Chain A
Amino acid sequence: GAGVSQSPSNKVTEKGKDVELRCDPISGHTALYWYRQSLGQGLEFLIYFQGNSAPDKSGLPSDRFSAERTGGSVSTLTIQRTQQEDSAVYLCASNGPTRRSASGGTSYNEQFFGPGTRLTVL
Chain B
Amino acid sequence: DQQVKQNSPSLSVQEGRISILNCDYTNSMFDYFLWYKKYPAEGPTFLISISSIKDKNEDGRFTVFLNKSAKHLSLHIVPSQPGDSAVYFCAASGSTGANSKLTFGKGITLSVRP
| A residues in contact (CB < 8 Å) with B | 4, 31, 33, 35, 40-45, 48, 50, 56, 58-59, 91, 93, 95, 101-103, 105-116
Contacts and interface: CB of A to CB of B under 8 A. Distances in A.
A48 B101 contact: yes
B94 to A, nearest CB: 9
Interface in B9-66: 31-32, 34, 36, 41-46, 48-51, 57-60
Contacts of A56: 97-98, 101
Contact of A91 (B32, B44, B49, B97): B44
5 contacts: A35-B104, A42-B107, A109-B95, A111-B46, A113-B36
Nearest to A56: B98
B38 to A, nearest CB: 9
A110 B106 CA distance: 19
B39 to A, nearest CB: 10
A108 B102 contact: no
B80 interface: no
A93 B38 CA distance: 14
B103 interface: yes
Contact of A41 (B93, B97, B106): B106
B101 A59 contact: yes
A48 B49 CA distance: 20
Contact of B41 (A59, A108, A115): A115
A4 B44 CA distance: 11
